[in-house]
Each structure stands twice: as structure tokens, then as C-alpha cells.
């Protein structure tokens, strides 16, 4: 930046930095929360605070584009403090919060209320999704208030628009396109899904097989086709959340080849766990869309290796233990807790040679920053916010949900041996997590509008 800077607030030295598309042995200087210099030790300014990371890897902070932070009337599942502590513990510096809250994030006032509660509790940065409101002309006000993106559930109504109301959906997507705001989509076709659930329930079927039959591959593929139709019609930039099937992914990739502005996401659980796991482990691995047959998993994995997947996100969806138990499968709350396992699992895949480190940074940092329009974030570069994660790539450890900061202390990955651990999380130049300890005050994170 400037050639004569003599002092800074913070210097991180002795690092292997992932910058400019490669790993460099260097350090960096931070002033007022921004990276002001990336350079060799001897060319760094003096600083009041110095962190020697002893040759560890430093990546730009992870951006998790799919998180249910809950709070408000769902605070018993998770709140802004516990959820962002979990994020920090997982090396994540920015989370995108989903709108299926109580009350639903779907208006200027709901957004304001949520931001105001969050701003007092968060320890990492948070951007908020909104659901569509009932009135189309409210959409622009929600955007002005600072919603970063919209989220649509095709499976059931969340927000002001019935997902089966084609006209209203089209109008909403067109308005999002006009405002250049992305729309993320949970693509399970609601008509097929809910008809099947009704039929199965009436027939007294209430086990995991019935659940898989309802949340079928066909339901996902139909949902994705519908999402593509809405994207084509409106020109909106859309993002398909948690793709779980090979057919679904193929459909997206075909559309993209034809120039449809659509991106896609996978979760660690959909690429590492199969429906056999679910039948064995039960409710803890029950999620929507559900875990799939091994052939789908292989397909998603190879797509990730080929660079065809844009984003890996956690879909962190915490529930209370009671909600995970139920007399029938239809009474169990779906969702897998992922903030504290997503990066370690991905680092393990890097260590196994399954994906490269640049590929990890692309799907967990660079692409989310680009898709959702986070300016001056997503890479270690002069002028960018100092959102960083220090990683011990060699450290082997065992996933132990009882140690989670999340209120939901269970995980289908319990007992998994992983290799690679985030050991420091730095947000805007402030240390938030250090060796598993949260060292920042509630409210130190920022709302990103």
C-alpha cells in the first residue's frame, strides 16, 4: 500500500500465508482492522502487538454461506453468541444467517430487530438473509436495510410468499434481479414432497425409509428444475443450497453451460455420509435434503474435485436434543450441526490429497465472497479486512461434540479422527479464538450489510 509505513496495530509473523493464489513464507501487518502490508519479515512495520505463528498456515477467514444462527424465540436451539463462538472455533470469520427464524426474517422491522440483537452478541461477522415478504415492493426496503441475499424454501412456506404461487415467485425473483441481490434456494419440490409425506403418514409409515421415500431424489430434481426456470425467467443470480444428488447437480451444470446464472453448494455431510449412515445413526444425521446413496456421494465428491462445485457450506442447523427424539420420524427436527466440523473435515480431505488447498480456499472463501458480494473480503491482500484463520495442518484430533460451543452438542461426525485444526481465528484484526478459547467480547463481531 504505502511504502513508508513505520508502525501498525498488529503484525503476524513467521507464517505460511495463502496469498496471491499460493503459499508464501511471509507476514502481514494490520491497522484499523485492515491488512496494510503482506511482506517478508524484514519489510514489516513495527507493531504494538505481535503474533508469531511459528510457521503455521494462515488462510483468509472462512465464509460460511449457510448457517441457522436462530436466537430470539429459538434461542434454546442456538443464539447469536453460542453460534458465532462455534463459528470462531471452526475458523469461520463470516457467517450468513438464514431467515427461517421465529419471527421469520421477512420485513424491515424483523431485520432491524435481528440485527440489533445480533450486534450485542456476535463474536464473528454476520450477514443476514431475508425471506421474501408478502408485498413485492417491500423487497427493495429489505435490501436497503442490509439483507445480503434472499432465501427461498421450495419445500414449504417460509415468509410472505407461498412457494407454489408461480406468479408471486416470478415477481419476487424479478425484483431480486432488478436489485442485483442473490437468491439462495432450498430446492425440494413442495408439492411432490408434501403429497408423499401425507400418503406415507396415512399408510402408517414413519421410519427412516419412509423419510427417504418422501424426500426423494425426484423431489430435489424437480425443485432444481423449478429454480432454473425461475432463474431463466427473471435473470436473477441464484444459488442452489446443499445439492445432494447426482441428477440434481447434472441439471444445474447443464443449465450453467447454457449460460444460466446459477451457482451451487454442497455440505460436508452430503459428500461424506450416506443414507446407510443415517439408518445406523438415526436422528442426529436426519437432515433435509437427507443423506443419499453412495453413488450420489461419489458423484458429488468427484464434481468437487473437478472444481464444478462453487461453495462448501455447513448448513449448521442446531436443534435441542428433545427435538431430535420423537415417536415417529415425522416428529424429528431435521438438521445437522456443522460450524465446528466443516473446516476440519475439509482440511482432512486436503491432507488425504483428495482436494488441494487452493480448491478449499476457492469453495470456502473466494467463491462465497464473490457470489454474495462481500467487498474487501475473501483473500489475504493489502486493503482487505484482516479476517484470518491460523491452521495447524498437521494436528490430529478427534471430533468431540461435548466440546462444541454450539448449544447442540451432537454430530454424526462424533469420534471421527481428523487432521488439520483451526488454532486461531482473527476477525478485523482482533483475536477471537485462540487454541479453542474464545477471547473476544460478545458484540465484537460486525453486521455486514
Residues linked to residue 417 through DSSP beta bridges, in sequence order: 398
Please tell me the distance from the alpha carbon of residue 162 to that of residue 56, in angstroms, as a whole number: 50
Residue 70 Cβ vs ligand DOR, minimum distance, rounded to whole Å: 8
For residue 100, the partner it binds in Zn ion, ligand DOR, none, with Cβ less than 5 to 8 A by kind, is ligand DOR
Q: Map residues 27-46 to x or -, x wherever contact with ligand DOR holds by CB under 6 A.
A: --------------------
Sign of the alpha-carbon dihedral angle for 205, 208, 209, 210:
positive
Catalytic residue selected from 64, 71, 79, 315: 315
Q: Judged by CB under 6 A, which of 125, 287, 342, 411 binds ligand DOR?
A: 287
The residue number whose beta carbon is nearest to Zn ion equals 186
Instruction: Cell numbers for 180, please give them.
Output: 442485483
For residue 334, the partner it binds in ligand DOR, Zn ion, none, with Cβ less than 5 to 8 A by kind, is ligand DOR
Which C-beta is closer to ligand DOR: that of 233 or that of 323?
Answer: 323
CA distance readout (Å), 217 to 214, 246, 300, 441: 9, 9, 14, 44
Q: Of 6-14, 35-43, 313-321, 371-379, which segment contacts Zn ion by CB under 5 A?
A: 313-321
Q: How far is CA 394 from the centre of its chain?
A: 25
Furthest-apart CA atoms within the chain: distance in Å: 76
**CA-based nearest residue to 342, from 314, 310, 378, 311:** 314
Residue 358 Cβ vs Zn ion, minimum distance, rounded to whole Å: 27
Please tell me the distance from the alpha carbon of residue 420 to that of residue 403, in angstroms, as a whole number: 17
For residue 231, the partner it binds in ligand DOR, Zn ion, none, with Cβ less than 5 to 8 A by kind, is none
Residue 338 Cβ vs Zn ion, minimum distance, rounded to whole Å: 10
User: How many chain residues interact with Zn ion (CB under 5 A)?
Assistant: 2
Residue 233 annotated among the catalytic residues of the structure: no
Q: Map residues 200-239 to x or -, x wherever contact with ligand DOR holds by CB under 6 A.
A: ----------------------------------------
Interface residues for Zn ion in 356-415 (CB under 5 A)? none
Q: Judged by CB under 6 A, which of 244, 274, 288, 406 binds ligand DOR?
A: 288
Q: Judged by CB under 6 A, which of 82, 100, 125, 237 binds ligand DOR?
A: 100
Instruction: Cell numbers for 297, please give them.
Output: 456421494
Helix H or strand E segment including 84: helix 80-89
Q: Map residues 303-342 to x or -, x wherever contact with ligand DOR holds by CB under 6 A.
A: --------------x----------------xx-------
- Does 315 engage in binding with Zn ion (CB under 5 A)? yes
- Does 186 engage in binding with ligand DOR (CB under 6 A)? yes
Which residue blocks in 122-265 are alpha helix, DSSP H? 139-145, 166-179, 190-202, 208-214, 217-234, 246-257
Please tell me the distance from the alpha carbon of residue 64 to that of residue 79, in angstroms, as a whole number: 17
User: How many chain residues interact with ligand DOR (CB under 6 A)?
Assistant: 8
Pairing relationship of beta strands 183-186 and 238-240 according to DSSP bridges: parallel
Q: Which residues, 6 or more positions from 250, have their beta carbon under 8 angstroms from its beta carbon?
A: none
- Does 412 engage in binding with ligand DOR (CB under 6 A)? no
Pairing relationship of beta strands 417-427 and 388-398 according to DSSP bridges: antiparallel
Please tell me the distance from the alpha carbon of residue 431 to that of residue 44, in angstroms, as a whole number: 20
Pairing relationship of beta strands 7-19 and 57-60 according to DSSP bridges: parallel
Q: Judged by CB under 6 A, which of 68, 239, 270, 446 binds ligand DOR?
A: 68
Please tell me the distance from the alpha carbon of residue 61 to that of residue 91, in angstroms, as a whole number: 7
Residue 129 Cβ vs Zn ion, minimum distance, rounded to whole Å: 10
Site for Zn ion, rule CB under 5 A: 186, 315
**Residues recognised as catalytic:** 315
Site for ligand DOR, rule CB under 6 A: 68, 100, 186, 287-288, 317, 334-335
Amino acid at each position: 500500500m504505502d511504502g513508508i509505513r513505520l508502525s501498525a496495530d498488529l503484525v503476524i509473523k513467521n507464517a505460511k500465508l495463502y496469498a496471491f493464489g499460493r503459499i508464501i513464507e511471509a507476514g502481514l501487518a494490520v491497522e484499523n482492522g485492515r491488512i496494510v502490508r503482506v511482506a517478508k519479515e524484514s519489510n514489516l512495520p513495527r507493531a504494538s502487538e505481535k503474533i508469531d505463528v511459528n510457521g503455521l498456515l494462515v488462510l483468509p477467514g472462512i465464509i460460511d454461506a449457510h448457517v441457522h444462527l436462530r436466537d430470539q424465540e429459538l434461542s434454546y436451539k442456538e443464539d447469536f453468541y453460542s453460534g458465532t463462538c462455534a463459528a470462531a472455533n471452526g475458523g469461520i470469520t463470516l457467517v450468513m444467517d438464514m431467515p427461517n427464524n421465529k419471527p421469520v426474517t421477512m420485513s424491515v422491522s424483523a431485520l432491524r430487530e435481528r440485527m440489533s440483537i445480533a450486534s450485542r452478541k456476535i463474536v464473528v461477522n454476520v450477514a443476514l438473509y431475508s425471506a421474501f415478504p408478502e408485498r413485492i415492493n417491500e423487497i427493495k426496503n429489505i435490501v436497503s436495510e442490509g439483507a445480503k441475499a434472499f432465501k427461498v424454501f421450495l419445500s414449504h412456506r417460509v415468509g410472505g410468499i407461498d412457494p407454489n404461487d408461480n406468479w408471486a415467485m416470478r415477481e419476487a425473483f424479478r425484483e431480486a434481479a432488478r436489485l442485483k441481490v442473490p437468491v439462495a434456494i432450498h430446492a425440494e419440490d413442495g408439492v411432490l414432497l408434501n403429497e408423499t409425506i401425507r400418503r406415507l403418514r396415512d399408510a402408517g409409515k414413519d421410519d427412516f425409509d419412509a423419510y427417504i421415500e418422501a424426500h426423494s431424489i425426484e423431489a430435489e430434481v424437480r425443485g432444481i428444475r423449478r429454480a432454473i426456470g425461475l432463474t431463466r425467467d427473471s435473470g436473477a443470480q441464484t444459488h442452489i443450497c446443499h445439492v445432494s444428488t447426482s441428477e440434481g447437480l447434472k441439471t444445474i451444470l447443464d443449465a450453467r453451460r447454457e449460460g444460466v446464472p446459477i451457482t451451487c453448494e454442497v455440505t460436508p455431510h452430503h459428500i461424506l455420509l450416506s443414507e446407510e449412515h443415517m439408518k445406523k445413526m438415526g436422528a442426529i444425521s436426519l437432515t433435509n435434503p437427507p443423506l443419499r446413496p453412495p453413488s450420489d456421494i461419489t458423484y458429488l465428491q468427484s464434481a468437487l474435485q473437478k472444481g464444478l462445485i462453487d461453495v462448501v457450506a455447513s448448513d449448521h442447523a442446531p436443534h435441542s436434543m428433545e427435538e431430535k427424539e420423537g415417536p415417529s420420524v415425522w416428529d424429528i427436527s431435521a438438521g445437522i450441526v456443522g460450524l465446528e466440523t466443516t473446516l476440519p473435515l475439509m482440511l482432512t480431505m486436503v491432507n488425504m490429497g483428495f482436494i488441494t488447498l487452493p480448491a478449499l480456499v476457492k469453495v470456502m472463501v473466494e467463491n462465497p465472497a464473490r457470489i454474495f458480494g462481500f467487498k474487501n473480503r475473501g483473500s489475504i491482500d493489502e486493503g482487505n479486512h484482516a479476517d484470518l484463520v491460523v491452521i495447524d495442518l498437521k494436528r490430529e484430533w478427534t471430533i468431540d461434540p461435548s466440546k462444541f460451543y454450539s448449544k447442540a452438542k451432537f454430530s454424526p461426525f462424533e469420534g471421527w479422527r481428523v487432521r488439520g485444526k483451526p488454532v486461531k481465528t482473527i476477525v478485523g484484526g482482533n483475536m477471537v479464538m485462540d487454541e479453542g478459547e474464545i477471547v473476544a467480547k460478545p458484540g465484537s463481531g460486525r453486521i455486514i450489510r
